Structure 1
Amino acid sequence: MKRRNIITLCWISLATSLFFFFVFTDEKTVENFMLTIAISSMYSFVLGAGNGLLNDFLNKKIPWSEATTKRAIISIVSILIANIIMVYFCNYMNFVVFQKVATTEQYFSGKYNYINWFTINIALLISAFLHAKGFMEELKKTSKKEVVEQKLIAKSANAQFESLKNQLDPHFLFNSLNVLSSLIDENPKQAQKFTASMSKIYRYVLEQKDKELVTVEDELEFAKTYCELLKTRFEDSVGFDFDVKKEDYRKFVVPLSLQLLLENCIKHNFATSSKPLLIKIFSENDTLCIENNLQVREQIKESSGIGLSNIVQRYSLLTKKNVFIEKSEDYFKVKLPVISYKLNITNAIIEDDDKSYERAQKRVKEIKSFYGNLISYCIIIPFLIIINLMTSPDNIWFYLPMLGWGIGVVAHGMSVFAIGKRWEEKKIREILEKQNKR
């Protein structure tokens, strides 16, 4: 135990001993005062320290954050058993050993059952408070840890996203300069036209590369300009067909995705006047598709793979929708998911966490409600017992609210800790997870 807790128990022992000595002790002698202190200290340290050590032990073995339901069930069972044993021990020492007002046979004959029950309720109150306090402390620690982790995830994802976007500048410039270099030898006039068009396109690259999403309309306009640039070089060897639905124009895609895919089509396929390369850009369900007839050229050196992998990674950071790739003997198709609303990368990462936080907040309220019910039960029922025994000891009625409310507390605990609707939800999730793995 911590030193602070030991000091607190000492003060509690002294305060309770003074109260019982001056209020309930007839003979106010030094001997009786010392006996009162000894009895108060025994109750304080056995019940207080016992419940505290039990709570610390459970915190180490079964933390609230790792197994809330399991911990709650084990806590309820263990505190009931532990407190019954500790109360019977303390009352036995008090009445049989210290005060010697009863024999062992009288104590266990049932004469002190009411006193034992009252003391057990007080002990349960102490234990419920300690466990509730431990739960709230664990919740605060877990919440702070999760906040720090989510901030780190968001920062890491932002850094990764920026790194991916920064690949676009040198990638586009390098490939464009390669095209320009070949045009200078083949057709100097076309090279001049290509240079003018390239400056316009590169301006768009600089403007859009820092954005996380752009409208399909903007991306299509840029793609058409880029296609004109390609037509400047390849003339009739390359054909383009745009058939995108108007309702998709206001949706979003990652910037420069079409440019990278168009570039890949040219890079990995040969194109001649007799066998032109046909590239189609069209809508299909909730995707923007880029398809070309397959005319694979032999690669002198291995491709860097920046284009397609860059798009896949950027989409994975922004949405759960996947980029699909289809390949057959005749065609190669890439499906880009279109996003119906604009978001940013931090919101995309934290969106699910907000929902998780709301569920966790609701869960905490339910658990706090249960502990409030339990603590109220532990406070009020003993007072009802005292009132019953003081006013009408021959007419025992306290067991009616004790049993009725007790059943309600048990039912409340069962509904909160994974029995009932939560059990059904848990089973549904397990079934869905199994189906997804198939």
Structure 2
Amino acid sequence: MKRKNFITLCWISLATSMFFFFVFTDEKTLENFMLTIAISSMYSFVLGAGNGLINDFLNKKFPWSEATTKRAVISIVSILSANIILVYFCNYMNFVVFQKAATTEEYFTGKYNYINWFTINIALLISAFLHAKGFMEELKKTSKKEVVEQKLIAKSANAQFESLKNQLDPHFLFNSLNVLSSLIDENPRQAQKFTASMSKIYRYVLEQKDKELVTVEDELEFAKTYCELLKTRFEDSVDFIFDVKKEDYRRFVVPLSLQLLLENCIKHNFATSSKPLIIKIYSENDTLCIENNLQVREQIKESSGIGLANIVQRYALLTKKNVFIEKSEDYFKVKLPVLSAKPNVVTEKTNDEDQAYERAQKRVKELKSFYGNLISYCIIIPFLIILNLITSPRNIWFYWPMLGWGIGLVAHGMSVFAIGKSWEEKKIREILEKQNHFKN
């Protein structure tokens, strides 16, 4: 037992012993005072420590965050059975051993049933408070842990995305300089023209690389300009065919995706006037396809694979739609998902988190309502029992509110801890699945 809990139970024992000694004890002697302290300490430590140990044990074996329904059922069964045993033990020690007010036979014949029932309700009140406190602490820890995890995930995703975008600058510049160096030897005049055009294109790279998505129209315009530069160098050895639907122009792709794929086509394939490299850019369903006839060039140095890998990873961070790659003996094709709207990753995650938070908030309200109901039951029913026994002991009426409220409390617990909701949720899923099946 923790020192803090031990001190708390000592103070509770002292307070209750002082109350019972000065209010209910006729002979105020030192012997009676010590007896009252001993009895109060017994009740405090046996019931308080017993329920505390049960709660701690269940927290370790069945945490609220991992098995809420299972934990609730086990908690109800364990606290009911444990408190009945502990209360009967405490009352037996009090009335039979300490006070010697009854014999063992008299105690178990039913003479002390009302007192036992009253004490059981008090014990259940203590236990309900401990379990509710444990649940709220567990919920608080879980919420903090989830917030930290989500922040780490968001930071990691942002860092990864920034890293991917920062690859574009040196990658584009390196490849463009390679083309320029080739043109300087082959055609100096074309090299000058290429330099002027490259500055225009590089400006687009600088403007667009920090964006998550750009319109298909902007990307196509840039790709066409870039194709003109490639045409300047390769002339009739390379041919470009654009066949993108007009309705796809206002949709979105990741920036510089076409430029990176065009680079790959040139880099990995040979192109001659007798065997030209034909690159097609066209729409297909909800994708933008970049296809070239396969004329594999022998590579002295193995490719780093930055271009295609960069595109795949950026799409993975922005959407659940995949980049598809098709390769045969005759052609190589990459299918880029075309998005109807800009999917903001942070917004999507935030919406999911908001929905999860709303569900968790609703769940907490339901649980707080149940525990409030349980605590009220444990307070009011014992009060009604005492009132009934004091005012009209021969006319026992407290059974009716105790039974009626108890049935309502059990029903409330069943609904809160999903004993009845699982069937309802299962039925809803079945209906939705049938509706989706008929739609398809």
Fold shared, TM-score > 0.5 on shorter chain: yes
Instruction: Decide which moves more: 39-48 or 399-408.
Output: 399-408
Q: Distance in 1 between matches of 2:150 and 2:246?
A: 38
Q: Distance in 2 between matches of 1:16 and 1:323?
A: 72
Partners of 2:318 and 2:344 within 8 A in 1: yes
Q: What TM-score does the superposition give when structure 2 sets the normalisation length?
A: 0.92
CA deviation digits over 1:355-394, x for unaligned, max 9?
Answer: 3222222222222222122112211222222223233333
Deviation at 1:433, TM superposition (A): 14
Partners of 1:158 and 1:345 within 8 A in 2: no
Partners of 1:150 and 1:350 within 8 A in 2: no
Deviation at 1:434, TM superposition (A): 18
Decide whether aligned partners of structure 1 residues 293 and 428 sit closer, same or farther in structure 2, where only a CA change above 3 A counts: farther
Instruction: Decide which moves more: 48-57 or 328-337.
Output: 328-337
Q: Secondary structure at the match of 1:322?
A: coil
> Which residue in 2 is equivalent to 1:428?
428
Deviation at 1:348, TM superposition (A): 4.7
Deviation at 1:349, TM superposition (A): 4.5
Instruction: Decide which moves more: 36-45 or 59-68.
Output: 59-68
Q: Secondary structure at the match of 1:23?
A: helix
CA deviation digits over 1:164-192, x for unaligned, max 9?
Answer: 11111111111111111222222222222
Decide whether aligned partners of structure 1 residues 33 and 131 sit closer, same or farther in structure 2, where only a CA change above 3 A counts: same
Gap regions ≥5 residues in structure 2: none
CA deviation digits over 1:82-124, x for unaligned, max 9?
Answer: 1111111111111111111111111111221121111111111
Gap regions ≥5 residues in structure 1: none
Q: Secondary structure at the match of 1:263?
A: helix
> Which residue in 2 is equivalent to 1:153?
153
Q: Distance in 2 between matches of 1:430 and 1:62?
A: 30
Decide whether aligned partners of structure 1 residues 32 and 402 sit closer, same or farther in structure 2, where only a CA change above 3 A counts: same
CA deviation digits over 1:53-77, x for unaligned, max 9?
Answer: 2112222222222222222222111
Q: Distance in 1 between matches of 2:265 and 2:432?
A: 39
Decide whether aligned partners of structure 1 residues 30 and 406 sit closer, same or farther in structure 2, where only a CA change above 3 A counts: same
CA deviation digits over 1:285-307, x for unaligned, max 9?
Answer: 33222222333233232111111
CA deviation digits over 1:105-150, x for unaligned, max 9?
Answer: 1111122112111111111111111111111111111211221222
Partners of 1:87 and 1:116 within 8 A in 2: yes
Partners of 2:13 and 2:44 within 8 A in 1: yes
Decide whether aligned partners of structure 1 residues 227 and 432 sit closer, same or farther in structure 2, where only a CA change above 3 A counts: farther
Partners of 1:323 and 1:335 within 8 A in 2: yes
Q: Secondary structure at the match of 1:282?
A: strand
Deviation at 1:341, TM superposition (A): 3.1
Q: Distance in 1 between matches of 2:431 and 2:49?
A: 44
Partners of 1:319 and 1:348 within 8 A in 2: no
CA RMSD of aligned residues (A): 3.1
CA deviation digits over 1:245-279, x for unaligned, max 9?
Answer: 33333332221111111111222223333333222
Instruction: Decide which moves more: 194-203 or 394-403.
Output: 394-403
Q: Secondary structure at the match of 1:101?
A: coil
Partners of 2:319 and 2:343 within 8 A in 1: no
Q: Distance in 2 between matches of 1:346 and 1:57?
A: 39
Decide whether aligned partners of structure 1 residues 255 and 43 sit closer, same or farther in structure 2, where only a CA change above 3 A counts: same
Q: Distance in 2 between matches of 1:324 and 1:64?
A: 43
Deviation at 1:214, TM superposition (A): 1.9
Decide whether aligned partners of structure 1 residues 398 and 247 sit closer, same or farther in structure 2, where only a CA change above 3 A counts: farther
Partners of 2:213 and 2:253 within 8 A in 1: yes
Instruction: Decide which moves more: 365-374 or 281-290.
Output: 281-290
Q: Secondary structure at the match of 1:351?
A: helix
